[in-house]
Structure 1
Amino acid sequence: MKKMNLALSLVALVVLSGCGDKPKSEIVKYKYTPAQVYQDTCSHCHGLKGEGLAEKKAPALTKQSVQELEMSLFDIKNGGLGQSTASEHDVMEHNMKKLAEKGYDYDIKMMANYLHNTFSVAK
């Protein structure tokens, strides 16, 4: 009887040991830092200092808040679900898909903070 109780206790312990465990969230690792992504891909249109280039129809990033930058980046990365339906954003959405395929994906919050901390004139 003792052996049976011991065996049942061990089985219950093994079965219950998995209960309540939350799956570990996956940490997304990006190939490039926000600075590298900006320098390699964004600066061609938004300028080396985030000043924007009229001939490329790329807005300046210097006067946008972190929240505005986040909203724009979210909109671009998610197919225009946010604030804009302008044709310039359509071009950027297409470009973003191509850039992500090449490994130039980024975390929206990290990129918005990088842009704001690096280029904002209203710090």
Structure 2
Amino acid sequence: MNTYNPYEAPKADIAAPPASDADIEQVAGAQKLIIFSILGYFAGAAVQTFLGPVGVLVVLGAVLAGLVGTFRLCAGLGYSMPVRVILIVLMFVPLVSLVVLLVLNAKATARLRAAGYHVGLLGATR
């Protein structure tokens, strides 16, 4: 008699390879920078609307935080150097940079949740 059950779930080992604690901590720190950068973009747009040139300083701070966060997150996620360079270059394109930050934030959230972190609005907690 055959013991094969056609309704049984597959038993493939598809788990991501475990990352080291240092990499996960780097991803968590970089994700906070990226989240603050995203919030800074929106705050800079609001400040520019009401206060004019002061908003440019807020946006420049958000761009700087986004650049640093992108580089650190790419290193923590193990991206190759050409991918890092492409993402850094894309950070200088106005709306594309916001999309890049959102995609990187989603990838970091998935990696952190797989490592057992709770990810909220302002970053990850153990």
When normalised by structure 1's length, the TM-score is 0.30
Higher relative strand content: 2
When normalised by structure 2's length, the TM-score is 0.30
Higher relative helix content: 2
Q: Which has the larger radius of gyration?
A: 1
